[in-house]
Structures are given as C-alpha cells and as structure tokens.
Amino acid sequence: MLTCKELSALSDEILEGSLPFKQKASVKLHLAMCKHCRRYLNYLKLTVDMIGKNEGHSATGCNSDVSSAEGVKIDQIMRRIDKEVLKK
Ligand SMILES: [Zn+2]
C-alpha cells in the first residue's frame, strides 16, 4: 500500500503518465481513498499546465536554460504546496 509520501515522490511520473501499470493501480487506489493526495495532484497539474502555457508549446524534456529555470520555479512551488498540504 502506497503512503502519501511515496505518492508525492511519484508525482512527476504520475503527471507524465509514465508509471508502470502496477504502480498506476496502487496510485489510483490511494487517490480513491486519500482526499489530500487528490488535492495535491490537482494543484500540481494546474501548476504544470499554467507553466506549460506560459512557455508556449515548447516540448518538455529539453535541457535548455529556460526549462531548467522553470524547473527551479516548479520546485519552489511544489515545496510551497507541500507545506500547505501538510498544514491541513
Ligand atoms: Zn495520501
């Protein structure tokens, strides 16, 4: 059984949809029971969508200066979200 911590560590792969089937199933199961992680992933998805739009349609996964700067930003936002989620 997945813990909330494990799920948040997998959040990148979850949003990318790159999880192996077995893990996807346990993530789904956890999300079905855990309101906090559902909310957490929703925030993350919104954030990623937002940043993706600001960046236009550039492909993800390229290592240009721009995307590494965005990566730092995402990291900060994620940390803030982490704190907010933990508060509740
Ligand atoms: Zn959870």
Q: Kindly report, residue by residue over 41-85, the tens digit of the pLDDT.
A: 999 999 888 887 776 555 555 545 555 556 666 677 677 767 766
User: Amino acid identity of 48?
Assistant: V
Total residues found in the chain within this entry: 88
Q: How far is the CA of 5 from the centre of ligand 1 (A)?
A: 7
Q: How far is the CA of 66 from the centre of ligand 1 (A)?
A: 32
Q: Is the pTM of this model over 0.75?
A: no
Q: What is the pLDDT of residues 16-40, one digit of tens each?
A: 889 999 999 999 999 999 999 999 9
Q: How far is the CA of 19 from the centre of ligand 1 (A)?
A: 17
The C-alpha atoms of residue 88 and residue 72 are separated, in whole angstroms, by 25
List the helix and strand counts (H, then E) for the chain: 5, 0
DSSP assigned state of 59: P
